[in-house]
Structure 1
């Protein structure tokens, strides 16, 4: 971060204005609600920053209320809140004074700096959010966060100033005090988002210096949309862009509603960015060590104890049982693909992607040891989180069975099941370790109903954008990072990354590409089934079948049958049979697709 500028007194070109005993030297900033002056206090012999409301309280009772709120805010003590040296009144004008030595206003400071790196911007905003969250939790809102209410000290320390200087807007008759306080806090978080946009873009948002005016022009009160421009002084990484745009989303329910939530997202992005995007596992590593990757299903150890490895049939029976428990399946794959175990295998062998092979390598004691080492269900989850986790596990297993049904002839059903399941590794880990954030991501992905009967609905965010907005990193990257942490090689990491939805599906060059394609098709189809409204599912299934028609020789009817077979396999716990494949001409496939879409 560039060095801070030391506050300097402006050269006076006109006689000073007086405000009581204070000598007003320079207007530092103003908004519809407040104004901040650089002033000199002859009694203390120092410069101060005076903040006053733009409008005088209308009577003595209003003045007393304003002074009481100012004094309450002045008692707050936090490193990111400016210390108030005086709260007073002059000619019916309430005011508060802060020591000018605390630093420059953010507007002054930015004008003296070269364009800030996005990481430095995020660091400053995190400081502001630390102070804001502390104030909100003490029941104090700001109501007028502006550039002139943010101070930057000589060492880059940020402090928020002038809490309580602006009168609260009158609450609606039915609104209680708690609701009004929550509204004020949400408005403060939105104001921080506007300042984040200005710092990243290097220009006032909507060409308007007053943050309160910007907010008034945004929905639901106005019609202006605030999105971070693509032309910024410094390139803005995608994760930070998603966070900034969520701050000012046109739909109120998609915005950050409290300072701590936005702070967690920015801190998560900063942790990843400071490691050069190379180690997103840092977000999960502490949790992995303390509670494991996923909890084992109830009773798995007891069921394992009843089986032995006397012959191949028993090994197959064991593998079929283990596949029903994703935590234990992942643990066995992690163990057998670690460097220590891989070193005992025959040179030239590829990764182990079947539980049958894992059982053969580890033996009965190794499998039971792995099962006993897992945390038992539900681990640290409460009932709500455990229910959500159970639903997700069923969806993931459904995708695994669908991939088995879609696999081309000659491919091992267990391998394609595990590849499809591991394409959901990031989702599973986030749901288990960060259930609140997982729910936020789910909400952001939901379409927003129209505000009026004749208005269009707004689509929700993509999973990638929602994940960036909540966690500061996308879910798939978290899963890939854990796979690397487990020692899974490049070939496995390639297979467990889904094919990008926005790009055409290329014909596979090798078996790994074919497994990745079958698993991706299954996951896209299951996502459509489980995430879309019923009326949109048929068209989405047709779209998935069209994407994979040439690669998997797949028609919409065959994809529907594969999904039906997957549901049956999920109930029975057995592998889904592969769909019979027949050669289909391009013309015949197009006609069949059209007919299915019409139906």
Structure 2
């Protein structure tokens, strides 16, 4: 509870934060005062400054200077606040709350009335140490963890109320709302789609995750919510900011990916080659996803393209890259890469290796399912490039990648006879963890390499909810081939009882455009080339290409020649 009072001793307005009930006896009162004084010593810009800790008629209180501030409850109207106004306030409070949690102190009663707004100094949280801990609170680590998770849930409800302008479940008291949400109740709290302010999809995903009906999907601690909000704010407010800027900084220091295991042997083999054809050289290079991407980055840089007179077209084959930089350039790139697994521990390295194998399989599937006449290496690389953001996140943000995978997993039904709870979409999970879509990160990396707006759309998969009707250009068809292949490979992560339906939807989406059948897709999902006898040399192995007809290339190259790059 928060009360506005006047202190006649100093002619000053104060805000008193009180517990919901009096301590039971003198010992309990003294215990409360000791805890409150300990909490008041925590100093952080996101926490309100305590003026006094005391008691009156056995009612303990913590006093704060009113000054020129107002509480969020006072300022909050039925229109709510715009996201750009709310999120900086929330970030300041979340940083203070996380600081307190790390000091072993939870709030226990986060409310809109406990957030203090001041012109020019942001928002601060009052009431730390005010609430009486639950009787079941033993004070151990599990109890502290539960209390911290409840604080984060309450902050999610405060954000919901502030963005929507309407209290969740029409209850302004977050404690009452929490009692009606799982696991205590059955009410679901989700941001409405209508309101005075437009809520960006990424921010909506963050807030909805904070109040998710599934406990396992909610934020585990204040830091994870703070990082997601900070990522959204910096990405939304500053092009190339937030996780994008952090990722690019890490890439400059450590590269996009490490060399694959066996990189030393490949480097020795490259050193022994002098007069091999570029097709044979590209076969060696393309076995290493990190080296493949490093060569694409090198040759698509504006300085190198200009120096070698390659025009404005993007380079999307390793054959063309080797033409441009020569064998010595390939050797330099190979020897400059970090050895496997870079800074990753064993578990994270295994996760990255597993993802790389899936990405390589997607490349092979794209070759198997591509329409006739399209270059095998181009479609192979495009299928890999559509996973650029996923690979970058797995290598540079492995903990966040694990969170995203966990959020995407379905959960068993809460009660017998009910359907299972579906996991989040990849986009929603990425928003909730990073504050930005994982494909946006991949696009940022490709743009940093020098790929232009002609090529960048091909590096994004077709959204699962979007229909696939036709392909107007070669670029469209190449994108669809790569996107289809990635969906086929994604079927391997789908629960077995949903896999057949998933593959059937893939055929419904892409069958007419790409001319593929359900049987071909089912074989490809098992890692079996549907047309081995017809295209074994050109499609089953990356880097070997049919020479019977010209290779269709992205429109970034002159469409009259469509010469392979």
Under a length normalisation based on structure 2, what TM-score does the superposition of the two structures give? 0.90
Q: Using the alignment, how far apart are the partners of 1:154 and 1:546 within structure 2?
A: 56
Q: Which whole-Å deviations, capped at 9, do the CAs of 1:402-445 have from their partners, x for residues lacking one?
A: 11111122222111110000000010011111111111110110
Q: CA shift at 1:51, angstroms?
A: 1.9
Q: Distance in 2 between matches of 1:208 and 1:276?
A: 37
Cα distance, 1:466 vs structure 2: 0.6
CA distance in 2, matches of 1:78, 1:399: 49
* Aligned match for 1:338, one of 279, 287, 301: 301
| Of 301-310 and 261-270, the range deviating more from structure 2 | 301-310
Q: Show CA shifts across 1:122-141 (max 9, x none).
A: 11100110110011011111
**Secondary structure of 1:151 counterpart:** strand
The 5 Å alignment of 1:77-476 reads 77-101=43-67, 103-111=69-77, 116-171=81-136, 177-275=140-238, 281-307=244-270, 308-313=272-277, 315-345=278-308, 350-476=313-439
Task: Report deviation, 1:516.
Answer: 1.0
Q: Report the CA distance between 1:278 and its aligned residue.
A: 8.9
Change (3 A) 1:375 1:544: same
- Aligned to 1:128, the other structure's residue is in SS state helix
Once the two structures are superposed, the pairs formed by residues 36-51 of structure 1 within 5 Å of their partners are: 36-51=2-17
Specify whether residues 110 and 176 from structure 1 end up closer, same or farther in structure 2 by C-alpha distance, changes over 3 A only: closer
CA contact (8 A) 1:408 1:578 kept: no
> 2-side partners of 1:81 and 1:347: how far apart?
57
- Secondary structure class of the residue paired with 2:411: coil
- The offset of 1:114, in angstroms, is 7.7
Question: For residue 483 of structure 1, what is the aligned residue in structure 2?
Answer: 446
CA contact (8 A) 2:180 2:187 kept: yes
After superposition, the Cα gap between the structure-2 partners of 1:187 and 1:426, relative to the gap in structure 1 and judged at 3 Å, is: same
After superposition, the CA RMSD in angstroms is 2.4
Larger relative contact order, structure 1 or 2 (CA cutoff 8 Å, min sep 6): 2
Shift of 1:489: 2.2
Contact kept, 8 Å, 2:471 with 2:513, in 1: the verdict is yes
Q: CA deviation at 1:578?
A: 9.9
Contact kept in structure 2, 1:293 and 1:327, CA below 8 Å: yes
Between the aligned partners of 2:478 and 2:53, the Cα distance in structure 1 is 69
Please tell me whether the aligned partners of residues 102 and 151 of structure 1 are also in contact (alpha carbons under 8 angstroms). Answer: no
Residues 566 and 576, structure 1, Cα contact 8 Å, conserved in 2: no
Matched, 1:53 2:14: no
C-alpha distance 356-369 of structure 1, shift in aligned 2 (>3 A): same
Instruction: Note the C-alpha offset of 1:526.
Output: 0.4
Gaps of 5+ in 1: 1-34, 580-599
1:126-177 CA distances to partner (integer Å, 9 max, x unpaired)? Answer: 01101100110111111011122111123242111111211111227xx772
Q: 1:322 to 1:466 in 2, by over 3 A?
A: same
TM-aligned CA distance change 1:333 to 1:167, over 3 Å: same
What's the offset of the Cα at 1:97?
A: 1.2
**Contact 2:305–2:311 (8 Å) recurs in 1:** no
Deviates more, 1:47-56 or 1:300-309: 300-309
What is the rounded CA distance, in whole Å, between the counterparts of 1:197 and 1:253 in structure 2? 19
> Equivalent residue for 2:506?
544
Equivalent residue for 1:565, pick from 528, 540, 546: 528
Q: Distance in 2 between matches of 1:434 and 1:97?
A: 42
Identify if the C-alpha distance between structure 1 residues 555 and 114 changes in structure 2 by more than 3 Å, giving closer, same or farther. Answer: closer
C-alpha deviation, 1:107, in angstroms = 1.4
Structure 2 contact 116–125 (Cα < 8 Å) conserved: yes
Secondary structure of the equivalent of 2:528? Answer: helix
| Mapped partners of 1:276, 1:302: distance in 2 | 41
Per-residue deviation, residues 456-494 of structure 1 (Å, max 9, x unmatched):
211000000110111111011110111111101223212
Report the CA distance shift for 1:176/1:574 in structure 2 as closer, same or farther (over 3 A): farther
Question: How many residues are paired up?
Answer: 538
Partner Cα distance (2:108, 2:98) in 1: 14
* TM-score, normalised via structure 1 length: 0.85
CA distance in 2, matches of 1:562, 1:96: 66
Q: Does the Cα contact within 8 Å between 1:403 and 1:518 map onto a contact in 2? A: yes
Q: Return the offset for 1:294.
A: 1.0
The 8 Å contact of residues 409 and 578 in structure 1, kept in 2 or not, is answered as: no
Q: Deviations over 1:31-59 (max 9, x none)?
A: xxxx2211122223322111222321112
Contact 2:161 2:168 in 1 (8 A): yes
Aligned CA distance change for structure 1 residues 196 and 277 (closer, same or farther; 3 Å): farther
CA distance in 2 between partners of 1:272 and 1:134 (Å): 24
Note the C-alpha offset of 1:115. 5.0
Listed as ranges, the gaps of 5+ residues in structure 2 are 547-565
Counterpart position of 1:575: 542
